[in-house]
Amino acid sequence: YKNGEPSKDCNWVNEFAPNRCGVKNKDATPAFEACLVACDTCPGSCNSQDSTTWYRAGDPSRGCDWVADSYPARCTRSNDDGVYGFESSACPYACRVCTYCDNDDSWALNNDEPEKNCNWVAEASQSRCTKSGIDLNGNITYAYQSCVDACRVCPNYGDCSDDDGWVKNNEDDDSRNCSWVASFPESRCLVKGTDSTDSDTYAFESCRVACSTC
């Protein structure tokens, strides 16, 4: 139910869905994750990919990748037709309504902050996927290696290939591409660059073979 208001449960959400599907409970879980029937976000309604044509009303540059960068806050934004980001025809994977794979539930930023887990990473993936943490076995890994769904690098998400157009940002030397990343992936997969569509991406997102993210 809505935080602090027990009478406002999934039935209440259903009365005015999808508008109320962005409301959160005391654990900050949005209704579109908990009230699956009311918000029409059951897994069976998943498409194979997020929409490539949905974008926030009035701004074509803010599509599903933009939504994924700040989950769940941006999932409640709608397009010009009133379709919210969390809906199955929009960005269900960016909004974690649908998943391609599972995160490592044991991963956390450190042992003293277990709440900073893969769900925490998903809330600001563009900045947190490059954080290093520790898993249940004491292995130190980057978030993009353990929080694969949160960082949208599931093995079956998109093409398993390196983007030939990706180059490191602010470099006149176009040799700093995915081949450059592959020669020292441990550190270079964290580098930010520009892909073949002129979008800002990390190497682990665009150089998937080089960074072993597929």
- Mean pLDDT throughout 130-143? 90
* Range of weakest confidence among 38-42, 58-62, 187-191: 38-42
Residues 6 or more apart whose Cβ sits within 8 Å of residue 152: 68, 93, 94, 125, 205
Residue 150 above 90 pLDDT?
A: no
| 2/90 Cα distance (integer angstroms) | 24
| pTM (whole model) above 0.85 | no
- Mean pLDDT throughout 183-209? 90
Backbone φ and ψ of 21, nearest 5°: -75, -10
Residues 6 or more apart whose Cβ sits within 8 Å of residue 55: 61, 62, 63, 66, 79
- In the block, which residue shows the tokens 């409970």? 25
Q: What is the pLDDT of residues 91-122, one digit of tens each?
A: 888 887 877 788 898 999 987 888 999 989 98
Q: Is the peptide bond before 30 cis (omega within 30 degrees of 0)?
A: no
Question: Which residue(s) pair with 45 in the sheet?
Answer: none
Residue 167 above 90 pLDDT?
A: yes
